[in-house]
Amino acid sequence: MTVRHISTGSPFEEKIGYSRAVVADGWVFVAGTTGYDYATMTMPEDVTDQCRNALATIGRALEEAGSGLDHVVRVTYILPDKADWLACWPVTSAAFALARPAATMIQAGLQEPEMKIEIEVTARVP
């Protein structure tokens, strides 16, 4: 089995000891991704902006793996405040309009208080 690790350069990846994505046997497993802009290490205040950033980071990792958002088969959304979830629907609906993956939303605390959403996906390499 060939395994490839993909990094975004996030300081969390090195400090915690994980990869943004792992490619193995035609699958891409993308770690829980929050809304940081990794170029500036800033976090928007708005949950929809965080959702957009997280999906953009995920999309870049998937592209580097030879996949893309259209090949996502499973997605998990984690939000500290379930009331924020409704505002994310237009963003997630647009991102996954073609893939329409199996999905779960979980309410749970996240690593930092400014984090309002974390998204994890599994995709196929076409």
pLDDT of the chain, 126 residues: tens digit per residue: 789 999 988 788 888 899 899 999 999 999 999 999 878 889 999 999 999 999 999 999 999 999 999 999 999 999 999 999 999 999 999 999 999 999 999 999 999 999 999 999 999 999
The ranges assigned to domains in the chain are 3-124
C-alpha–C-alpha distance, residues 40 and 28, integer Å? 26
Strand order in the sheet with 27-33: 3-6, 21-24, 27-33, 118-124, 72-79, 102-107
The encoded tokens of residue 13 equal 């990846």
Tell me the whole-structure pTM to 2 decimals. Answer: 0.95
Q: What are the distances in angstroms from CA 42 to CA 16, 27, 96?
A: 19, 30, 25
Specify the DSSP class assigned to residue 37: B
Angle at 91 between CA 90 and CA 93, to 5 degrees: 65
- The CATH-assigned architecture of domain 3-124 is 2-Layer Sandwich (3.30)
